[in-house]
Amino acid sequence: MTEHQLAATFVELAAAPEEHDRLPAFLGRFAGSCARLLGARTAVVLLTGREHEPAVAGALDPRLAALELEAAVRGEGPGALCVRQGRAVAEVGLTGAVARHRWPYYAPRAEQLGVHKAAAFPLLYGTERLGALILLRDTQPPPDAGTAALAQLLADAAALSLWRVRELTASRTLADQLQHALISRVLIEQAKGMLAARLSLPIDQSFQLLRDHARSHRRSLREVAREVIEGTLTIPLK
């Protein structure tokens, strides 16, 4: 591990993508950096969705990403245990009868892929459990206390970046919704005024005509208002 590699990893975390479909590739690169920094064979980053259900997994090896995601869905493996408990799971062996009894789906498939040991570190932001960083090993020596502390530090940094992305995405979604609502309101008010002038009606009655027409034709009030403004729709007085 070098200071340059560590710094590069934190820089990459700061550039976490906002698009959901780009997350697996980003998580795969981050997992590769974690494996190199922490002396593991490889690593997997498991993210959760609503109600802490597994949602996205990223790894340089897509087979391991798929395995960890499916195992988490089944509630097996250190990753799933880490997310449920919200705390680190010390390295555990995945070979032998005990591991197969504990995790009958996960353990034998991990062994087939050359993974003999696994540990997991939670991605936490406050009390929010966002996922887990899973370190996978074959014959490497177990991590010492310093390595485990660094793994948790990287997991914490990843959680901070991912939370920022979620909050930014939520803010943009809310802004888009408010903008849409504002535009709709402006169109409706303009259409009410135009319809009231054309038919010599009070504003309240012109709005009632707009709303009744939209409901009876199963269309949005915004669409009806826009067509009234553009002159492509004539609503007769009832």
Measure the CA–CA gap between 29 and 54, rounded to whole angstroms.
19
Do both 40 and 67 map to the same domain? yes
Quote the CA–CA distance of 38 and 226 in Å, as a whole number: 59
Query: Is residue 155 located within the same domain as residue 51?
Result: yes
| Structure confidence at residue 163 as a pLDDT band (50, 70, 90) | confident
- Please state, for a pLDDT cut of 70, what percent of the chain lies above it: 80
- We report the CATH number of the domain holding residue 199 as 1.10.10.10
The answer to whether residues 112 and 210 belong to one domain is: no
Flag whether 131 is in a domain. yes
Sheet arrangement for strand 128-137:
54-58, 42-48, 128-137, 117-125, 89-93
Q: Are residues 186 and 134 in the same domain?
A: no
Q: Which of 154, 171, 188 lies at the terminal end of a domain, its last residue?
A: 171
Total domains, the chain: 2
Q: Are residues 196 and 137 in the same domain?
A: no
Alpha carbon distance 202, 168 (integer Å): 43
Q: With respect to residue 236, please indicate whether it lies within any of the assigned structural domains.
A: no
Q: Which of 134, 156, 171 is the last residue of a domain?
A: 171
Mean pLDDT of the chain: 82
Average pLDDT rounded to a whole number, residues 34-48 = 88
Record the pTM. Answer: 0.67
Which of these three, 122, 154, 171, is where a domain ends?
171
What range does the domain containing 53 cover?
A: 3-171
